[in-house]
């Protein structure tokens, strides 16, 4: 990518008119690491900010094999059939995909890929979790400005990526499989504590009773955990991504959550807190990047780390030296 894709005003107007090609180009601009592109991207997001925030933002996670892509394809198609415009974004910090990866993402969501009311965007091709999450948050805002009223953010990676997705969405959906006994043993408490809903997939054919049993086990487990959102008890539902059974109930529950959280003011507070937290996260990453980029510090840091590891230098004095090199004020 060379030079400016277009002037910021033209980009903004075209995105707001729903031009998909311009939206894709603008996201490419956001993902660029060039300084001039970054500045233009930041201005574009600022210009579009008044036109964002109307969509419902849903994070979706689940263990490999749970049928996440099939679920997103089925749920997204269900929503577009009801008149919604759906954007599917991914957070995958482990991704080493190239530009050709878009085909792969669209292949695993075959119906949405050809749906004119759906837009699919994979993770940036590389980067840290913070970097990928930052691009995804900005992409989400662009999609909202383009008129997409349901944003599905898929966590492809594991661990902290789930926390990152939960921190940028309104509603966090955790997908599970039947077989409660085994599943419950391996259940990650941290992920379940983030959940606004647990949905047990593959509730079809001979699996229906197993799915219902699993749901009962998960409901019991949730009783001993603090809900992710105040005033909301996470439901546990069963569904089949293959047949579509249960998708309507999942969507209705999400709508109920949206209505109650808007009425109580919880949604506004949640989004405000997310914005401020995100500001501090970006600042910390910017400072850390500056630290790593300083040539003198790059030379000195390995020596400091070695001295701290050996116990010949206290971590506090090491930080004092780093802070002095960065011309930061001493700790009060």
Residue range 96-105, pLDDT digits in tens:
544 434 444 5
Check if the beta carbon of residue 253 is closer than 8 Å to that of residue 197. yes
Q: CA-CA distance, 11 to 19, in Å (whole number)?
A: 9
Residue 254 contacts residue 197 (beta carbons within 8 Å): yes
Q: Look at the domain 1-51 and name its fold.
A: 1.20.5
Average pLDDT over residues 172-178: 90
If we measure between CA atoms, which residue out of 223, 218, 152 comes closest to residue 182?
A: 218
Q: For residue 265, report the phi and psi dihedrals to the nearest 5 degrees.
A: 85, 0
Q: What are the tens digits of pLDDT across the range 192-225?
A: 778 899 999 999 988 899 999 889 888 887 877 7
What is the pLDDT at residue 100? Answer: 38
Q: How far apart are CA 146 and CA 25, in angstroms?
A: 13
Q: List pLDDT tens digits, range 134-152.
A: 889 999 999 999 999 999 9
- At residue 331, the pLDDT reads 53
Contact criterion met (CB below 8 Å) for 125 and 96: yes
If pLDDT is split at 50, 70 and 90, which confidence band does 173 have? very high
Pick the CATH number of 53-264 from 1.10.287.3510, 3.20.20.140, 3.90.400.10, 3.40.50.300: 3.40.50.300
Contacts of 287 (CB under 8 A, 6+ apart): 326
173: closest CA among 189, 154, 187? Answer: 154
Contact (CB, 8 A) for 27 and 139: yes
Mean pLDDT of 55-60: 96
C-beta separation of 173 from 190 below 8 A: no
The pTM for the full model equals 0.86
Q: Where in the chain is the domain with CATH 3.40.50.300?
A: 53-264
């Amino acid at each position: 990518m060379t030079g400016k894709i277009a002037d910021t005003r033209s980009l903004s107007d075209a995105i707001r008119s729903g031009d998909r090609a311009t939206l894709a180009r603008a996201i490419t601009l956001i993902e660029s690491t060039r300084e001039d592109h970054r500045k233009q991207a930041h201005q574009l997001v600022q210009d579009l900010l008044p036109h964002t925030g109307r969509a419902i933002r849903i994070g979706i996670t689940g263990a490999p094999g749970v049928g996440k892509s099939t679920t997103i394809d089925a749920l997204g198609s269900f929503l577009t059939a009801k008149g919604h415009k759906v954007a599917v974004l991914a957070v995958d910090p482990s991704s080493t995909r190239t530009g050709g990866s878009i085909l792969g993402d669209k292949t695993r969501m075959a119906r949405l890929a050809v749906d004119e009311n759906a837009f699919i965007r994979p993770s940036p091709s590389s980067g840290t979790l913070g970097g990928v999450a930052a691009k995804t948050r900005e992409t989400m805002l662009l999609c909202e400005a383009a008129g997409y009223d349901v944003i599905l953010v898929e966590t492809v990676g594991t661990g902290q990526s789930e926390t990152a997705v939960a921190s940028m969405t309104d509603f966090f959906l955790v997908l599970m499989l039947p077989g409660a006994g085994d599943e419950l043993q391996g259940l990650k408490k941290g992920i379940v504590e983030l959940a606004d809903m647990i949905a047990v997939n593959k509730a079809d054919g001979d699996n229906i009773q197993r799915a219902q049993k699993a749901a009962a086990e998960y409901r019991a487990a949730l009783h001993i955990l603090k809900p992710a959102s105040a005033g909301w008890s996470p439901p546990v539902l069963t569904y089949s991504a293959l047949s579509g059974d249960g998708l309507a109930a999942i969507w209705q529950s999400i709508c109920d959550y949206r209505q109650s959280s808007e009425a109580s003011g919880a949604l506004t507070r949640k989004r405000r807190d997310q914005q401020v937290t995100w500001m501090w996260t970006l600042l910390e990453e910017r400072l850390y990047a500056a630290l790593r980029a300083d040539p003198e510090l790059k030379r000195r840091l390995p020596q400091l780390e070695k001295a701290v590891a050996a116990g010949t230098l206290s971590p506090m004095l090491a930080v004092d030296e780093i802070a002095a090199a960065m011309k930061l004020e001493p700790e009060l």
